[in-house]
A and B are shown apart, each in its own frame.
Chain A
Amino acid sequence: MLPQTRDADTISSPIVDDNGFLKVEKSPPGVVNDIKLAFFLAVYDVRHRYARSIIGPFWITLQTAFFVGCIGFVFSAISAVSTRDFLPYFAISFVLWSFLSGTTNNSTTTLLDAGGFIKDRGLPAYVFFLQCFFRHLLFLAHNIAVPILLFVFLGGTTFFRVIAAIPGLVIFAGVTLCLSLVVGSLATRYRDVQPVVESLMNLAFLASPIMWKPDLLSGREFLLHYNPVVHLLAVWRDPMLNGVMPWGSFAISLMFLAVLASLAWYALTQLRNAPFWI
Chain B
Amino acid sequence: MASISLENVTLDYPVFDLNDKSLKRRLLTVVGGQREKASVIRALHGIDLEIKAGERVGLYGPNGSGKTTLLRTIAGIFPISGGHINSTGHITPLLGLAIGANKEISAEDNIRLLLRVDGIKPTADVVDSIWDFTELKDKMRRLPLRTFSSGMLMRVLFSVSTAFSPEILLLDEWLSVVDKTFSKKAEQRMEDLVSRTKILVIASHNINMLERVCTRIVCLDEGRIISDEPVVAKPKVEEPLEAAVHDSAITSPGLS
Residues of chain A having any CB pair with chain B under 8 Å: 2, 5-6, 9, 13-16, 19-22, 24, 26-29, 33, 37, 40-41, 44, 48, 51, 116-123, 186, 189-193, 272-273, 275-277
Contact = CB atoms under 8 A, between A and B. Distances in A.
A121 B93 contact: yes
B192 A20 contact: yes
A276 B163 contact: no
A117 B100 contact: yes
A2 B116 contact: no
13 contacts: A5-B185, A21-B193, A28-B119, A37-B117, A44-B113, A48-B105, A116-B99, A116-B254, A119-B95, A120-B99, A121-B99, A273-B14, A275-B72
B99 A117 contact: yes
Nearest to B133: A9
B193 A33 contact: no
A28 to B, nearest CB: 8
Contact of B119 (A16, A19, A27, A193): A27
Contacts of B119: 26-29, 33, 37
Given A15-B126, A190-B22, A275 B78 contact: yes
Given A19-B196, A190-B21, A275-B77, 15 more contacts: A5-B185, A16-B129, A19-B192, A22-B129, A26-B119, A26-B164, A37-B119, A117-B99, A119-B72, A120-B93, A120-B94, A120-B172, A122-B93, A190-B26, A275-B72
A61 to B, nearest CB: 22
Interface residues of B, number: 54
Which of A16, A27, A33, A276 gathers most chain B CB within 10 Å? Answer: A276
A19 B99 CA distance: 25
Given A5-B185, A20-B189, A272-B79, A27 B21 contact: no
Contact of B23 (A28, A41, A190, A276): A190
B109 A29 contact: no
Contacts of A121: 93-95, 99-100, 117
A120 B116 contact: no
A273 B16 CA distance: 12
Contact of B165 (A21, A28, A48): A21
B117 A123 contact: yes
A2 B24 contact: no
A191 B189 contact: no
Contacts of B254: 116, 120
B241 interface: yes
Contacts of A9: 132-133, 185
Contacts of B102: 48
Contacts of B121: 24, 27
A28 B89 CA distance: 11
B13 A276 contact: yes
Nearest to B98: A116
A242 B34 CA distance: 54
A28 B165 CA distance: 15
Contacts of B192: 19-21
B83 interface: no
Interface string B116-144: 11111101011001101100000000000
A122 B76 contact: yes
A275 B100 CA distance: 16
B188 interface: yes
B77 A118 contact: yes
A186 B91 CA distance: 29
A216 B99 CA distance: 52
